[in-house]
A and B are shown apart, each in its own frame.
Chain A
């Protein structure tokens, strides 16, 4: 009986941290979905996240208001996105390489600013965990078993999940979403119909990057409430892969993000419980899984046809 209870506690613990840890992946990967749907592979998400994490943290640290931090992170992200857009869209740079440049730039600048403007690791009071208290004595988080799993996260976490239906709607049901999809699928046709391929791609990349900035901030002013050098530790790169993994749809991305974060949570428990699986091997699993998922053939047919292909009118 008590063994069953422990098992239940562990499963609930994994669920809780899985939902929580999916936050940065969701923001970054849904943002990247917009960029990739428009035909631009923004591999610099990791660097953008680091910049967003730093400025989000710094603004919160200075003002004490996480909302200002959130705005700062989104603005920083969109500036980084503008840089990526100029390089990849206007200058038609090879996107796989320019993304690495953007990553190194973001990693370098965020670490530099952290060292010169803060110096030491400090904490802030970021977005608090909500408990959905309906009355002074009853909170949804107090519901037995599942209350804590679903009703004890911060606003940024709920925002990340709210983004899934919003992004799906925008991509599939709005005119702008149609434009995004068309410039990613067949830019020549979109151009001949009067859609500004460059304009739509700029907007998509910048929107995606501002979400990547928020993804960084979700770490520094919500999940961890600190800033450290290179604190994203590969999340941004995973987010890019999650878009492939999720077949370029927000819902698919969410499933991928949950799978990824749950395995991460599982791996934390492997360490806590001293299970006979080396934790290094457990950490490796999600990456292996991603490679396997990328190899599943039918996914490729869903890829935006003009992904990574620069567009220039009248040439060729």
Chain B
């Protein structure tokens, strides 16, 4: 069903393009080629897919647990701030790998706290988590500006008197290795030409070996997707989260601590968004700057990636690559066709609207299937319900 939602969103996008006097086929073609057709496009797509995947995993955990996390933006910001701070503090003191690991944990920790707050407020005080996470987004942005204009500001900026709100660059030792670094350390020196790889295969080979912005955070995110899959479907805690999400009341009767599970879902959800922030800092930006430019809307587009991946950790992998490509392709389309990139934001919004709408159609169809089943042999549980429920229809 989500595939239809995306197709429908693109169809509406095509109408908008037509109204702008742009040939939608050409525009979409330039978008696809821009995102997937070249070494640089492909690597940028995967660079953007990385935070989308990590945020999407967090969103999936929250939604599966029956809580709605709109606060990934703030969680990304808090995570990236703390990671930067840890990186600046530990920089030269311990070996690079250890700092990277601590930095990632720091991001997850701070994002987790920023998710735990609304989780706790919801569980203990009944505060609507949608609203509290939106408020916490704004608070995180302001904390970011405060720190970057104050204690965390780059000493060079202070010295130059320009006062641009960003931190100093983290030392190179704690850059997450790029794909090209990994290829070199594995001793891969041949270029695509040497191996006579042509066309798309050559570009893919280029992505893996040549200097691009693509970093190991992408591999890390994929591993995390597998971890989350195992966690949700193969562990007791994961089962509890899903059970609470499916039916809070039944879970309570089954003896589960529903409140604690909701706090846990939100905390883990925030931790993954914080991790996305950490990976963006250590893998891509290497310094903290304008909070909203670091979070870059991933907190919202991550929701789209999660929904399109059917809230399944492994489904979110291709989904995040698709939407990463959409973001990159939109940029390329803007340059080639003079169509503003913001069209992508509108299309993402439509995808959300269509996905949540088609949900209903799927549900309806399933209900109808249950109805027809019941006419034949009734499942035991259904009989129990039917016996207590008063008959309305003849």
Q: Is the CB of B352 within 8 A of A101?
A: yes
Segment of B204-212, B343-351, B376-384 engaged in the interface with chain A? B343-351
Of A16-24, A86-94, A216-224, the one with at least 4 CB within 8 A of chain B: A86-94
Q: Which residues of B contact A278 (CB under 8 A)?
A: 146, 149-150
Contact-residue size bin, chain A (C-beta under 8 Å from the other chain): 35 or more
Q: Is the interface of B mostly helix, strand, loop or mixed?
A: helix
Would B350 and A105 count as touching, CB distance under 8 A? Answer: yes
- Bound-state Cα–Cα, A102 to B355, Å: 12
Q: Quick one: which of A234-292 are within 8 Å of B by CB?
A: 234, 237, 240-241, 244, 278, 280-281, 283-284, 287-288, 290-291
Contact of A291 with B349 in the complex, beta carbons under 8 Å: no
CA–CA, A297 and B125, complex, Å? 7
A108 and B307 form a contact (CB under 8 A)? no
- Is A120's beta carbon under 8 Å from chain B? no
Q: A96-B68, A244-B128, A294-B127 are in contact. Are A111 and B139 (CB under 8 A)?
A: no
In the assembly, what is the distance between CA of A154 and CA of B330, in Å? 40
| Complex CA–CA separation, A278 to B134 (angstroms) | 22
Interface: B340 (CB within 8 A):
yes
CB distance from A87 to the nearest CB of B (A): 5
What is the minimal beta-carbon distance from A37 to any residue of chain B, in angstroms? 16
Residue B367, interface by CB 8 Å: yes
Please choose the segment from B83-91, B234-242, B357-365 that sits at the chain A interface, where 4 or more of its residues have CB less than 8 A away. B357-365
Asked whether A12 is an interface residue with its Cβ less than 8 Å from the other chain, the reply is no
B20 lies within 8 A of chain A by Cβ: yes
Contact of B195 with A by CB under 8 A? no
For residue A140, CB closer than 8 A to chain B, the reply is no
A108 touches B356 (CB 8 A): no
With contacts A97-B352, A300-B126 taken as known, whether A108 is within 8 angstroms of B134 at the C-beta atoms is: no
A104 touches B346 (CB 8 A): yes
Q: In the bound complex, do residue A100 and residue B70 qualify as a contact, i.e. CB atoms below 8 Å apart?
A: yes
Separation of A244 and B131 alpha carbons in the complex (Å)? 9
Interface residues of B in 9-34 (CB under 8 A from A): 16, 20
Cβ of A234 to closest chain B Cβ, rounded Å: 6
Interface residues contributed by chain B, number (CB under 8 Å): 50
Contacts of B121 in A (CB 8 A): 291, 294-295
> Which residues does chain B contribute within 8 Å of A229, judged by CB atoms?
342
The reply on A103 being an interface residue by CB < 8 A is: yes
Inter-chain contact A87/B356, CB cutoff 8 Å: yes
Q: How far is the CA of A87 from the CA of B9 in the complex (A)?
A: 14
Which A residues between 75 and 114 are near B, CB-CB below 8 angstroms? 83, 86-87, 91-94, 96-98, 100-109, 111-112
User: Which chain A residue lies CB-closest to B393?
Assistant: A314
When the two chains form their complex, are residues A284 and B132 in contact, meaning their CB atoms are under 8 A apart? Answer: no
Residues of B within 8 A of A105 (CB): 345-346, 349-350, 353
Contact A109 B136, beta carbon cutoff 8 Å = no
- Contact A93–B359 (Cβ < 8 Å): yes
Chain A CB within 10 Å — which of B135, B343, B351 has the most?
B135
Judge whether B303 is part of the interface by a CB distance below 8 angstroms.
yes
Q: Does A53 contact B (CB under 8 A)?
A: no
Does A135 have its Cβ within 8 Å of any Cβ on chain B? no
Q: Are A112 and B346 in contact (CB under 8 A)?
A: yes
- Contact in complex: B149, A280 (CB < 8 Å): yes
Contacts of A107 in B (CB 8 A): 342, 345-346, 349
Q: Is B138 an interface residue (CB 8 A)?
A: yes
A241–B139 Cα distance when bound, in Å, is 15
Chain A residues, Cβ within 8 Å of B359 = 91, 93-94
Closest residue of chain A to B150 (Cβ to Cβ) is A278
- B357 in contact with A93 (CB, 8 Å): yes
Bound Cα distance A96, B138 (Å): 18
Interface residues of A in 284-316 (CB under 8 A from B): 284, 287-288, 290-291, 294-295, 297, 300, 314-315
The reply to whether B300 and A111 contact each other, CB–CB distance below 8 Å, is: no
Could you say which residues of chain A place their CB within 8 Å of the CB of B132?
A: 291, 294
Q: Pick the residue among A104, A115, A241 that contacts B135 (CB under 8 A).
A: A241
Taking A108-B343, A280-B145 as contacts, is the C-beta distance between A97 and B349 under 8 angstroms? no
Is residue A116 contacting chain B, with contact meaning CB distance below 8 A?
yes
**A116 to B17 Cα, complex, angstroms:** 11
Which residue of A has the minimal Cβ distance to B118? A291
**Alpha-carbon separation in the docked complex, A216 to B357 (Å):** 26
Across the interface, name the chain B residue whose C-beta is closest to A41: B130
From residue B28, how far is it (CB to closest CB) to chain A in Å?
16
Q: In this assembly, does A184 line the interface, its C-beta being within 8 Å of a C-beta of chain B?
A: no
A309 to chain B, nearest CB (A): 14
A97-B60 Cα distance, complex, nearest whole Å: 13
By a CB distance below 8 angstroms, the chain A residues around B351 are 101
Contacts of B392 in A (CB 8 A): 314
**B344 lies within 8 A of A108 (CB):** yes
Min CB–CB distance B83 → chain A (angstroms): 20
A residues near B16, Cβ cutoff 8 Å: 109, 112
| Cα separation A287 to B357 with both chains bound (whole Å) | 31
User: Does B142 sit at the interface, judged by CB under 8 A?
Assistant: yes
Task: Let me know if A281 and B142 touch, CB within 8 A.
Answer: yes
Tell yes or no: B143 within 8 A of A by CB: yes
Closest to A86 in B: B357
Q: Does A31 contact B (CB under 8 A)?
A: no
A and B contact pairs by CB, cutoff 8 A, 14 listed: A41-B130, A83-B353, A87-B357, A91-B357, A96-B68, A98-B353, A108-B346, A112-B343, A116-B340, A241-B135, A280-B142, A284-B143, A295-B127, A300-B126
CB-based closest 6 A-B pairs: A108-B346, A101-B352, A104-B349, A105-B349, A108-B345, A93-B356
Taking Cβ atoms with an 8 Å cutoff, the residues of B that contact A are: 16, 20, 68, 70, 121, 125-128, 130-132, 134-136, 138-139, 142-143, 145-146, 149-150, 300, 303-304, 307, 340, 342-353, 356-361, 363, 367, 392-393
